């Protein structure tokens, strides 16, 4: 990230540093991989730049440590769009 001046960068670092530490501690506490929050931004998914976001298969969620999810339906069926924009699936 680039900043216009040193004061702005310092203010940002003073804010974001503690927030990153809290986020890391949270994911460690719940035993879920923090990469879950950014996996869809990996270079291998660059071809989906026109999508508004991503979703995971049930198996992929389990690989991140999410295994206590209960579903109303018998199958995992997340939406493939949001506000008429596509969402891609990470398998």
Query: In a structure prediction context, what are the per-residue pLDDT tens digits for the chain, which is 91 residues long?
Result: 788 889 999 999 999 999 999 999 999 999 999 999 999 999 999 999 999 999 998 899 999 999 888 877 777 778 899 999 999 999 9
Verify that 26 and 39 share a domain, yes or no.
no
Verify that 43 and 86 share a domain, yes or no.
yes
User: Into how many domains does the chain fold?
Assistant: 2
Q: What is the pTM of this model?
A: 0.77
Verify that 22 and 64 share a domain, yes or no.
no
Verify that 61 and 39 share a domain, yes or no.
yes
Verify that 46 and 16 share a domain, yes or no.
no
Q: How many CA atoms lie within 13 A of 67 on its CB side?
A: 7
Widest Cα–Cα separation across the chain: 54
Verify that 86 and 47 share a domain, yes or no.
yes
**Strand stretches in the chain, DSSP E:** 53-56, 81-82, 85-90
Which domain does 22 fall in, by range? Answer: 1-30
> Which residue carries 């879950």 as its tokens?
36
Residues facing 55 on adjacent strands: 89
Verify that 18 and 59 share a domain, yes or no.
no
């Amino acid at each position: 990230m680039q900043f216009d001046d040193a004061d702005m960068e310092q203010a940002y670092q003073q804010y974001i540093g503690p927030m990153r530490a809290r986020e890391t501690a949270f994911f460690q506490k719940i035993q879920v991989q923090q990469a879950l929050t950014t996996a869809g931004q990996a270079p291998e998914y660059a071809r989906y730049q026109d999508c508004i976001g991503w979703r995971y298969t049930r198996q992929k969620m389990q690989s991140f440590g999410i295994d206590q999810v209960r579903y109303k339906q018998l199958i995992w069926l997340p939406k493939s769009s949001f506000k008429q924009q596509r969402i891609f699936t990470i398998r």
